[in-house]
Amino acid sequence: MPEVPEDLRPPTHHWYDGFRPPLSSEEKAQALADPGPTWRQYFFWEFVRWWAILFFLVVDVWVVVLFTNPLFVPGLVAGLIGVTYGEFLLYEYLWRRPNPDRESLRTEFHRTWYRPFRFGRWTPEAEDARNGIDFGKARPSGPDPKEFL
């Protein structure tokens, strides 16, 4: 095979290599063993949540515009209260995250007007519950303190 000229060879390093620290072979193996959430999980757990919040803001602006031209204060107040509570219920239904220190699948859940659902449909806890895993024990919350000792 003929020798490729130096200027036509692909670069062995890139300009962005200096921005990230080099990974050890142990870190690379750990990343391959546990790649993290799937694209579906990322889409429902993180991505859609921010777009939903933007959609909620748009709906709130529509209600304000609807009742301010001409000005109808009772409709504006009632509309904002109703829409805000509806948005809150939708957010709770989809993304409510329970506190694993205070809640578990073994504890009884009491619905209230401000906590109508135990956990959101599109959360890691809901996926664990569908698989029969207690969400308080399934995933550690925050960094592991043993890593810093």
**Could you read off the pLDDT of 90-147 as tens digits, one per residue?**
999 999 988 777 777 677 888 888 888 888 888 888 888 888 877 656 555 556 666 6
- Is 0.85 surpassed by the pTM of this model? no
* Sequence-separated contacts (24+) of 54-61 with Cβ below 8 Å: 56/87, 56/91, 59/83, 59/87, 60/84, 60/87
**Domain-embedded: residue 47:** yes
Residues 125, 44: Cα–Cα separation, whole Å: 13
**Domain-embedded: residue 104:** yes
Question: How many structural domains does the chain have?
Answer: 1
Q: What is the mean pLDDT of the chain?
A: 83
**Domain-embedded: residue 19:** no
**Domain-embedded: residue 23:** no
Instruction: Return the DSSP state at 16.
Output: G
